[in-house]
Amino acid sequence: MYIKNNARLLIEDLNKNQLLFRTIAIQALEKAINAVKPKNLIQKSVKIQGNILGIQGDEYDLNEFNKIYFIGGGKATAEMAFSFEMILSKLKNIDYKGIINVPKDSVKLDQLEGSKIKINFASHPIPDGNGINGIKQMMQIIEESQINDLIICLISGGGSALLPLPKEEISLKDLQKVNAMLLASGASIHEINIIRKHLSDFKGGNLAKKLYNSSRATLISIIISDVVGDKLDSIASGPTVPDSSTFYDAIEVLKKYNVFEKIPLSVKNHLENGLIDVNLENPKLNDICFNKVHNYLIGSVKNAVEEVTSFLVMQGFKTNYFSNEIHGEAIEFGGLLHNIIAQNLNEISKDDALDKFALIGTGELTVTIKGKGIGGRNQEMLLSFLDDMGERDIPYEFLIISANLDGIEGNSEAMGALIDNYVSNQIKKNLIDTKKYLENNDSNSFFKLVGTEIVTGSTGCNVNDLLIVLLQLRK
């Protein structure tokens, strides 16, 4: 079981239907996490037969490579690396080494024993010097590699912060300042990564460019997506793929969120120079540097959706995956969710004998930070839903879980939260001021109060957030 506070969620005060819905929802969330565990995704996509490495149907004869190196980074890459090593352990004469950047809480000490891949702990979501040190060691591998070597790059979400290599004229301090400003601005992760790509010598296809200029070795990139739409150039800011964005796009994002005039001068000068000098732009589609680069998307939140859908159907729910691109302000989406439920319920309940329905959504919301509380995007969205509910009477029993499958969101220790009719009744019964918590971005304190925060700790996963809505029409 990944969820640590089950007992707090399955309390005796719940009526029979509430207890059933919570039990089903918790089981669904457990299955979702397991479906996107990096170990399971690697084992599903990567095979070894003889000395042939198979990845999603493509084959690589490892005998043709002189040396094998691992590089990369992200929240899920430690488990990806250890799982890949387990597969390679079937071979007797294969040697390899490497280094990856990961957050501290993504590795257990016993996992380090026997690993040939160095684990370098770096900071997330604000980059630090440890991250730069790790990248420099990766760059040394790139510079020392030969044309007949194989570089395996492991990439997952979080890599944008964990893999910092700022342009020479940009200091780490200035890079940290820009990242902090963007994270608080309300910009989407896709928008933030447009800027990160244009401040980096690693992201935005620049890793592929450096390898081409160095040795032209073969590069295989194994990727787990955490972004809406699974856009490869946005996952960890796309170090091994063509960059579809431009310096102009980066400046427009900064202006959109009123940040451009506040950023450090070194950053501003670099972006403005990029508008003038085409040679500063990141490599684009059809650039020769990608000729020996092979990118494989091995997992995303879709794996979780398939598992959850199958489970809920078995539990008697008619299901609808209503959106794979949930985005925007958490507080605004929470208010809209009532209408989304009503519209979907109206459609899926037509001429249907079932009275239990499930809606599934995926994506990633944002929070513009104005208060000093503790919370995260999923918790804020759910609190906004409850606040918008007010005294309205709804014609169904409901349960909603919204969670970051990584296990931790925002500045809280929760992955998300659960709300249902019981929570709604507690608000009314105890006269809880939901708006006060919303205005202070203090959603986690609210969910601690009502006892429905969901705590797992770091899961080692890294995909989009998952929204599950369970509904039953009142008879």
pLDDT tens column, 216-264 = 999 999 999 998 889 999 999 999 999 999 999 999 999 999 999 999 9
For the chain, the structural domain boundaries read 6-36+301-473, 38-165+200-245+282-299
Q: Which residues pair with 118 in a beta bridge?
A: 99
* DSSP 8-state secondary structure symbol assigned to residue 236: G
Q: Per-residue confidence at 347, pLDDT binned at 50, 70, 90?
A: confident
Q: What is the spatial distance between Cα 386 and Cα 447, in angstroms, rounded to a whole number?
A: 11
* pLDDT over 70 at 6, yes or no: yes
Model-level pTM? 0.89
Span 431-439, mean pLDDT?
A: 96
Domain 38-165+200-245+282-299, CATH number (from 1.10.10.10, 3.40.50.10180, 3.40.720.10, 3.40.50.300): 3.40.50.10180
* pLDDT over 70 at 349, yes or no: no
Number of Cβ within 10 Å of residue 467's Cβ equals 25
pLDDT tens column, 57-68 = 999 999 999 999
Q: Burial of 147 by CB count in 10 Å (0-12 exposed, 13-18 middle, 19+ buried)? A: exposed
pLDDT of residue 297: 97
pLDDT of residue 473: 83
Q: With pLDDT > 90 as the criterion, what percentage of the chain qualifies?
A: 84
Which structure tokens are listed for 407? Answer: 């296990």
CATH annotation of 6-36+301-473: 3.40.1480.10
Residue with the bigger pLDDT between 474 and 267: it is 267
Which structure tokens are listed for 158? Answer: 């979080």
pLDDT of residue 351: 59
Supply angle C-alpha 403, 39, 376, rounded to 5.
20
Instruction: Give the three-class secondary structure for 380.
Output: helix
pLDDT of residue 188: 87
* pLDDT over 80 at 474, yes or no: no
Residue with the bigger pLDDT between 468 and 187: it is 468
Nearest C-alpha neighbor of 253 from the set 306, 303, 189: 189
pLDDT of residue 106: 72
The whole-angstrom distance between residue 454's C-alpha and the CA centroid of its chain comes to 17
